[in-house]
Amino acid sequence: MKSSIHDLRIFGGTSLFQNPVHVGHPNLLRKQQLERRLSAVLNSGQLTNHGPQVRKFEERLSELMKVRHAVAVCNATTALQILAKALNLTGEIIMPAFTFIATAHAMDWIGLTPVFADIDPVTHTISPSSVQRCLSANTSAILGVHVWGNLCDVESLQNIADEHAVPLIFDACHAFGSSRAGKFAGQFGRAEVFSLHATKLVHSLEGGVITTNDDDLAARCRRLRNFGITGLTEISDIGINGKMHELSAAAGLHSLEDLPEILAVNRRNRMLWAEQLANTSGLNLQSVPQGQQSNYQYVVGRVDASRFGLTRDQLITVVRAEGLFARSYFVPGCHRSVPYSHHAGAECELTVTEAILQDVLQLPTGLAVEPSIIERAGQLLEFIARNSRAIFEEMLRTPVLDHHPQDPVFFGTVATPPQTANAAIPVAGVDGPLRSHVRHADTVPEPHLTTVSEAAVSAMMHQRSGAQ
Ligand code: T4K
């Protein structure tokens, strides 16, 4: 562990984690068994088109979630589109701005207008009162997102939806295995959509599933998933190819068998993080609201810069260099991302969203994260908190900050042109606290990777001392 701030990698020390610790890593157990399963599928000759693996997977999913129908789809983005088409949605759809960009893209791609509502400060899910304010004559549906495994306030949202006679649907991509008042995600609203992407709790490598208790809606989703074909020579709808293939379904069935272990490990990890951070002032883990069971797929907290002594982005800079690849999430927010920033529908007030985008921090969990990793990471965070003032001052003084050799932010695939001498470094989507720390830079020599929130990290890494 570090005994002085000069042991920190950003000041030339050695990274705490030589092998980086990612926020998420595919949960994958019993690989040989999976290989045998996949090989049996390959030998069966049936590779796709609603084969036995997909049918069995759908059956297992509906049993588990206690819902009448589970419609397996190639990914959740396509599943959201199929669902919206199956409901004949047109015009505006109210959704949170605080979600993975796919939620907005899926709707916009099929001609719907996302209207971004604010979120609840505790659960980070869509705020019913904000939804009320976003309603208009053009609203055709409300789309809640169960962020981080926390379920939305489904009862209040349902009341609003019923009152205005619009369907309520959910993006449940984060919520596999979560429940509210004893009811599993998958049973709420008219329908819900789950992602089975490799980084999700349960996964089919890539994949998605629509769940619903509505027989007609399920039948329509099934038709739309298969080009709208209903018989040998019959085409009833304008459908798409949204089919899940057999290998994917077999991987999904395999993953489902590990669900109890994955949930137990996530719960344990969340508890360990809470223990480790109990004395770290200014870094507060999100708590699960009463009456809910979370799958703890994500461990998230908020960095209160005034108490912690560093902003969230400054903290990310320090820990990523140590190999703890903590992340901000959903930055810059759907409403601030280029395709939507001048959006006609985006007029709702997003005060809570804006605040959370500035300070939310995602920490590693999942099967790959051992207790010893959390213990060391917790000690590191505590050390940083204790020395935050000295670290901040040193960050202002130190000429060149260093980063972790395996950080994809610096060794990725998207290159941006070098900065010119003494130009202010643009930090896309990050204003406020970080801006005050981003100063004019000398030339940044190599092209470096920039994803939106990582631009902040990148900018800080390349700043020079005294160049105000
Ligand atoms: N709605 C919501 C709320 C969602 O979260 C998502 C997807 C969707 C809709 C759409 O669902 P899909 O159409 O994808 O089914 C990832 C995923 O690409 C995305 O599926 C997911 N949400 C989103 C939250 O996360 P990234 O870019 O943030 O993750 P990525 O690729 O950086 O992976 C996270 C970490 O996992 C990395 O640190 C490396 C590690 N990793 C990742 C992969 C894929 C591995 O170790 N191995 C791997 O194979 O988007």
Cα radius of gyration (the chain): 23
Contact predicate 304/282, CB 8 Å: yes
How far is the centre of ligand 1, averaged over its atoms, from the C-alpha of 200 (Å)? Answer: 7
Cα 382 from Cα 380, distance rounded (Å): 5
pLDDT above 70: percentage of residues in the chain: 86
Contact 384, 10 (CB under 8 A): no
Q: Residue 418's pLDDT band (boundaries 50, 70, 90)?
A: very low
Decide yes or no: CATH 3.90.1150.10 for domain 5-27+260-461: yes
Nearest CA to ligand 1 atom 46: 25
Q: What is the per-residue pLDDT for 400?
A: 58
Mean pLDDT in residue range 408-435? 36
Q: Quote the ligand 1 centre to 102 CA distance (angstroms).
A: 10
pLDDT digits (tens, 9 = 90+) for 331-345: 999 999 999 988 755
Does the Cβ of 149 fall within 6 Å of ligand 1?
no
Q: Give the pLDDT band of residue 214 (cuts 50, 70, 90).
A: very high
Centre of ligand 1 to C-alpha 186, Å, is 20
Q: What is the mean pLDDT of residues 280-298?
A: 93
Mean pLDDT along residues 273-297: 94
Closest ligand 1 atom to 80 CA:
9
59-73, 95-109, 438-452, range with the lowest pLDDT: 438-452
Q: Are 443 and 418 in contact (CB under 8 A)?
A: yes
Name which residue sits closest to atom 45 of ligand 1, judged by CA.
25
Q: How far is CA 458 from the centre of its chain?
A: 21
pLDDT, mean of residues 414-431: 30
20 in contact with ligand 1, CB cutoff 6 A: no
**Residue 403 pLDDT level (bands cut at 50, 70, 90):** confident
Q: Is 148 in the pocket of ligand 1 (CB under 6 A)?
A: no
Pairing of strands 299-303, 360-363: antiparallel
pLDDT of residue 347: 61
Residue 24 banded pLDDT, cuts 50, 70, 90: confident
The CB of 451 under 6 Å from ligand 1? The reply is no
Report pLDDT for 399: 59
Measured in angstroms, how far is the CA atom of residue 172 from the centroid of ligand 1?
14
165: left (phi > 0), else alpha (psi -120 to 50), else beta? Answer: left
CA of 198 to the centre of ligand 1 (A): 7
Taking CA atoms only, the protein residue closest to ligand 1 atom 16 is 199
Cα separation, 141 vs 451, in Å, equals 31
Return the structure tokens found at 87.
């409901």
CB 454 within 8 A of CB 433: no
Q: What pLDDT is attached to residue 429? A: 30
Look up residue 202 and give its two tokens. 């349960």
User: Residue 197 Cα, ligand 1 centroid: separation in angstroms?
Assistant: 7
In whole angstroms, what is the distance from residue 208 CA to residue 214 CA? Answer: 18
Give the residue, by CA position, lying nearest to ligand 1 atom 34.
Answer: 24
> Ligand 1: which residue has its CA nearest to atom 20?
197
pLDDT band at 415 (very low <50, low <70, confident <90, very high): very low
* Residue nearest atom 19 of ligand 1, based on CA coordinates: 197
The best mutation among 195, 295, 328, 457 to test binding of ligand 1, ranked by most ligand atoms within 8 Å of the C-beta, falls on 195
Other CB atoms within 10 A of residue 162 CB: 10
pLDDT digits (tens, 9 = 90+) for 376-392: 999 999 999 999 999 99
Distance CA 267, CA 282 (A): 23
Topology of the domain covering 31-257: Aspartate Aminotransferase; domain 2 (3.40.640)
215 by Cβ neighbours in 10 Å (0-12 / 13-18 / 19+) ranks as: exposed
Q: Give 227-254 as a DSSP string.
A: TTB-SSS-B-S---B-PPPHHHHHHHHH
Q: Where do the domains of the chain lie?
A: 5-27+260-461, 31-257
Averaged pLDDT for residues 60-74: 98
Maximum separation of any 2 CA atoms in the chain, in Å: 74
- Rounded to the nearest angstrom, the distance between the alpha carbon of 26 and the centre of ligand 1 is 10
162 to 68, 84, 95, 119, 217: CA distances (angstroms): 22, 18, 17, 20, 18
Helices (H) and strands (E) in the chain, counts: 16, 19
Helix (H, G, I), strand (E, B) or coil at 145: strand
Q: What is the DSSP letter of 420?
A: P
**Who has greater pLDDT, 415 or 98?**
98
pLDDT at 19 over 70: yes
Torsion sign, CA atoms 279, 280, 281, 287? negative
What distance in Å separates the CA atoms of residue 168 and residue 154, rounded to the nearest whole number? Answer: 9
Contact residues for 431 (Cβ-Cβ < 8 A; gap 6+): none
Q: How far apart are CA 134 and CA 121, in angstroms?
A: 18
- C-alpha closest to that of 170 among 65, 248, 243: 65
Q: For residues 178 and 292, what is the distance between their CA atoms, to the nearest angstrom?
A: 7
Q: Indicate the burial class of 49 (C-beta count within 10 angstroms; 0-12, 13-18, 19 or more).
A: exposed
Distances (CA, A) of 354 to 98, 130, 252: 9, 14, 36
Which atom belonging to ligand 1 lies closest to the Cα atom of 77?
13
Q: Is 100 in the pocket of ligand 1 (CB under 6 A)?
A: yes
Average of per-residue pLDDT across 260-283: 96
Name the residue at shortest CA distance from atom 50 of ligand 1: 199
Give me the phi and psi of 354, to 5 degrees please.
-60, -40
Structure tokens at 346: 């985006």
Please tell me which residue, 435 or 164, carries the higher pLDDT value. Answer: 164
Position 276 pLDDT exceeds 70? yes
Strands 324-325 and 21-22: parallel
Q: How much is the average pLDDT of 62-72?
A: 98
Report the pLDDT value the prediction gives residue 404, as an integer from 0 to 100: 84
Name the pLDDT band for 66 (thresholds 50, 70, 90). Answer: very high
Ligand 1 centre distance from Cα of residue 75 (Å): 11
Answer whether residue 431 shows pLDDT above 60: no
Q: Looking at residue 348, what is its pLDDT?
A: 80
Contact between 181 and 159 under an 8 Å Cβ cutoff? The reply is no
Give me the chain's average pLDDT, please. Answer: 87
| Ligand 1 centroid to residue 119 C-alpha, Å | 22
User: Which atom from ligand 1 is nearest to the alpha carbon of 99?
Assistant: 3
Q: Is 198 in the pocket of ligand 1 (CB under 6 A)?
A: yes
- Averaged over 58-74, what is the pLDDT? 98
Decide: 27 in ligand 1 pocket, CB within 6 A.
no
Angle of helix 371-386 versus helix 312-321 axis, rounded to 10: 130
Which pLDDT score, from 0 to 100, does residue 344 have? 57
CB count in 10 Å sphere of residue 39: 12
The finding on whether 23 has its CB within 6 A of some atom of ligand 1 is: yes
Q: Ligand 1 atom closest to Cα of 79?
A: 13
